[in-house]
A and B are shown apart, each in its own frame.
Chain A
Amino acid sequence: MLWIPCPTCGRRPVEEYRFGGELRGVPDRITDPIERDVDYVWMFDNVAGVTTERWFHQAGCRRWLTVRRDTTTDTVLG
């Protein structure tokens, strides 16, 4: 099971959190402004590996945090 460390509350099971999405940018190779907008709105990196994402500690301090997670093992790094 996935445990996520909250800087305010400590290490907690995933059920206490709400997933807030990956932190990502639009790839540099996309240069057309409209294509950049489409990418920003709709596309996901959906990385199989280490990804940086936002989580909300809904059942605890009710604050957002940034977490690095390995999506192949579903574990949080450092």
Chain B
Amino acid sequence: MNEFVERRLTLRWQQAKRAYDVVIVGGGGHGLATAYYLAARHGITNVAVVEAGYIGAGNSGRNTTIIRANYGIPEAVRFYQHSLELYQTLEDELDCWMMYTTKGIIWLAHTETAMRAERARSLLNLACGAETVMLTPQEVKALCPQLDLSGGGRYPVLGASYHPAAATARHDRVVWAYAQGAMRLGVHVLQHTRVTGLLRDGARVTGVETSAGPISAGQVLSAVGGNVSTLAAYADVRLPIRTHPLQAFVTNDYEQAFQPILSDTELLCYVSQTERGQMLIGAEFDAQPSYSLKSSFSFLQSSAAKAMHLLPFLRNLRVLRQWTGICDISADFSPILGETGVEGFLVTTGWGTWGFKAIPAGGELMAELIASGRTPPLLEPFRLDRFASDQTMADPGSTGTH
């Protein structure tokens, strides 16, 4: 049991019942948010969130906490803009400080091709309700004085797109706030309860088999990160998902303020400063699927080299900590939410390296789907059956980024 969680929040842990209306597998942001919105918006409180470890132990506690809506296809921009707007009022709604800080994200371009891509992204974002504008190199320098506009001589900055609403929040606090909100309304959160199978009645899923015994459920939602293929296989559901490790690292404190989030598609890396002053650096996910949480030196070496092209001051900092999360990446780099074709079994998955920013909208819309049985319009494009009907959604705004 995580002592820090229990001292700082009023989380009311309950004994497991034998049956619930809804069982959500996975006590991360998406699972807990769905539970909260089921109770708060739809009055469905006979809900259990079943978590193998402690809440937020998976990717909710391992991500780089960037919240933004400047994606590359209209369906995604609308969805993430909705999520960003929910985040902006979330501290009030859940009455909990999450260290939500608006920072703005600068997306650098080093070639004319990249400039065209960023211009197209800006216009698409504007058309879909997410403010993104183009910046000249001088405007970039004004927002981020530490940036070397020559990119170490190899990656000159020709310009950038700028999404001013981009923000960060404290990931653990988001998880705990949703858990607290859900538990106050009567939701059971069962930690250290591993799901080992699904209860079936014919094809239908009727509950979960857990390390603490069977629990039956009207509907089961998989909100797991990293093991969704295994869980779905219990229901004979096949998913277009591969699970890849994603690594990140932080340095020791940088004594100046580093205001924006800096991102770079060509170098495939991104940099921001944590509330503690540490520089947080992330890059693309590992090429081969794996469930291992081992970090690698080659990742550290290559992403540090990339980031130092842009921000020479990083040379003087030391690497404090490096870690790995395992991300479910879908075949078209867009998430998969909703029905699976098996009655009683739903998924929210494919959150790859972009799940944290989607927690409020993913939770709210999945709750609406579970409560009403109808897919909300914002979720419609993200259905699993898009793969069978050739309506996949390759998103250049999410590929290999955060």
Contact = CB atoms under 8 A, between A and B. Distances in A.
Bin the interface of chain A by size.
Answer: 20 to 34
Contacts of B227: 48
Contacts of B242: 44, 46
Nearest to A46: B229
Given A13-B298, A48-B230, A42 B240 contact: yes
Given A1-B296, A13-B298, A44 B240 contact: yes
B292 A71 contact: yes
Contacts of A72: 291-292
Interface string B269-297: 00000000000000000011111101011
A15 B298 contact: yes
A67 to B, nearest CB: 10
Contacts, number: 63
A77 interface: no
Given A1-B297, A15-B298, A38-B388, A46 B243 contact: yes
A19 B242 CA distance: 13
Interface residues of B, number: 23
A73 interface: yes
B298 A44 contact: no
- Of B240, B290, B297, most A-chain CB atoms within 10 Å: B290
Contact of A42 (B229, B236, B288, B331): B331
- Of B239, B243, B288, B298, most A-chain CB atoms within 10 Å: B288
Secondary structure type dominating chain B contacts: loop
A27 interface: yes
Nearest to B297: A1
Interface string A1-29: 11000000000011100110010000101
B175 interface: no
B288 A44 contact: no
Interface in B381-395: 387-388
A27 B238 contact: yes
Given A29-B236, A39-B238, A42-B240, A48 B291 contact: yes
Given A19-B287, A48-B230, 19 more contacts: A1-B296, A1-B298, A2-B290, A14-B298, A19-B288, A27-B238, A29-B236, A30-B238, A42-B240, A42-B331, A42-B388, A44-B241, A46-B242, A46-B243, A48-B243, A53-B288, A72-B291, A72-B292, A74-B294
30 contacts: A2-B290, A14-B288, A15-B298, A18-B287, A19-B287, A27-B238, A29-B236, A38-B388, A39-B238, A42-B331, A42-B388, A43-B238, A43-B239, A43-B240, A44-B240, A44-B241, A44-B242, A44-B331, A45-B229, A46-B242, A46-B243, A48-B227, A48-B229, A48-B230, A53-B288, A69-B288, A71-B243, A71-B289, A72-B292, A74-B292
